[in-house]
Amino acid sequence: MILIMALIAPSLLAADFLKLQQEVEIVNNSAAAWLHLDVMDGMFVPNISFGPMVIEFVKKIVKKPCDVHLMIEQPGRYAETFKNAGADHLTVHIEACPMLHQDITQIKSLGMKAGVAVNPHTPVALLSDILHEVSIVNLMSVNPGFGGQQFIAYTLEKIKQLKKMISERDLDVLIEIDGGVTIDNAREIINAGADVLVAGSTVFRAKDPIGAIEKLKTV
């Protein structure tokens, strides 16, 4: 049996911002593939996190790609701003983009990998017409806005559905799972078809964050 390993993307949202440089260095020195950065505007989701200025500072020290997840309204207005701040991947929510194709095209034209995120209640079937245009699909496995929530079990079925859509069309699209990922459920999520695990509290609240990242990769 071949053991499939996922890419790990620690979420900066759970880091200690009083020790931000040290927290980023943990990611640099770990087996993590990306650094995940959650941007919230207090409108699309009921929380406010950080914006392009923080990403710009982080970009100066991080050695991994910056995976920026915009949980904001009208994200297309800010795509160039986040590109200039240092985003390597830019993911927008299908629920926030009435002209999603236009937003995805803009992201790609700026030289970033484009991603689309879906909330827990959004069927993956709605991705059918955009799936061939993106590099990443972020399946939210908690209701977006706050870290430390419990994984929504039905997400496993959505992963399988999405994996089938990608495989049937022979597309090169990564499935990213965001929310409630732990060492205990990581293997089940990967076995369902996930390629990337976003982990916040599991990494940054661990006694040994580097060890936690390694466990998520090899569980």
Give the active site residues: 38, 178
Distance between CA 166 and CA 164 in Å, rounded?
5
Please return the burial class of 89, using the count of CB atoms within 10 Å of its CB with bins 0-12, 13-18 and 19+: buried
Q: Are 120 and 160 in contact (CB under 8 A)?
A: no
Distance between CA 199 and CA 187 in Å, rounded?
13
- Strands, sheet with 196-199, edge to edge from the N-terminal-most edge strand: 7-10, 196-199, 174-178, 136-140, 113-118, 89-93, 66-71, 35-40
CA nearest neighbour of 51 among 35, 64, 69:
69
Residue 117 DSSP one-character state: E
